[in-house]
Structure 1
Amino acid sequence: MKLNNLDRKISMLCPTCGCKDFNFDEHDENGLVTCTQCERQLTRADLVAENSELIAETQNEIAKEAQKQIEAEMKKMLKNAFKGNKNIKIR
């Protein structure tokens, strides 16, 4: 079973001004992230913690979409399994 289109990109927001643009060193995982608009500096862990509600909301959205895809695939598999049987109907 293959799930389609579950990739998402989450734009982190500055907790001070709501800006989506940050300056950071890509190679330094523990380095500081600086907002380009208000110049607030945070660690990456703090930025993720500040955006945890947005991340959780996106995770729930992905889970719901995956569940719908799995349900549709299971229904299709059941219909195909009992295709020639007159006594069993799948709705």
Structure 2
Amino acid sequence: MNLDKHSRTIPLHCPTCAGTTFKSESPESLSVICTGCERVISKDELCRENEENVQEHLGEIKKEISKAVADDMRKRLQKAFRGSKGFKLK
């Protein structure tokens, strides 16, 4: 089963202007600058401010993956017991 199709990028929003583009002076920098309102915010604070959005996406991903796993298991069991006269799967 390929779980790569369930991979997604979750955009983080600026708590001030709801912008989604940020710039950083360097990759090691602990803060970013919103390109919309030029607010300087730490990466940790940005993650905390977007926690609800991240949790919502996580819930959606969990539902999609559990459905995909159940479908995959059903298909594998049907294939394994195909042609069996005493065992049927729905």
Q: Settle same-fold status: TM greater than 0.5.
A: yes
Match of 2:55 in 1: 56
- Partners of 2:40 and 2:51 lie apart in 1 by 18
Counterpart check, 1:74 vs 2:73: yes
Query: How do residues 39-54 of structure 1 correspond to structure 2 at under 5 angstroms?
Result: 39-54=38-53
Deviates more, 1:72-81 or 1:2-11: 2-11
What are the superposed Cα offsets for residues 56-83 of structure 1, whole Å, 9 maximum, x if unpaired? 1111111111111101110011111211
What 5-or-longer segments of structure 1 have no aligned partner?
none
- Partners of 1:41 and 1:17 lie apart in 2 by 12
Query: How do residues 1-91 of structure 1 correspond to structure 2 at under 5 angstroms?
Result: 1-30=1-30, 32-91=31-90
Q: Percent identity of the aligned residues?
A: 37
* 77 and 29 in structure 1: CA distance in 2 versus 1, 3 angstrom threshold: farther
Q: TM-score, normalised by structure 1?
A: 0.88
- Partners of 1:4 and 1:66 lie apart in 2 by 10
* 26 and 85 in structure 1: CA distance in 2 versus 1, 3 angstrom threshold: farther
Which 4+ runs in 1 deviate beyond 2 A?
A: 1-4
Deviation of the 1:26 alpha carbon: 4.4
**2:55 corresponds to which letter in structure 1?**
A
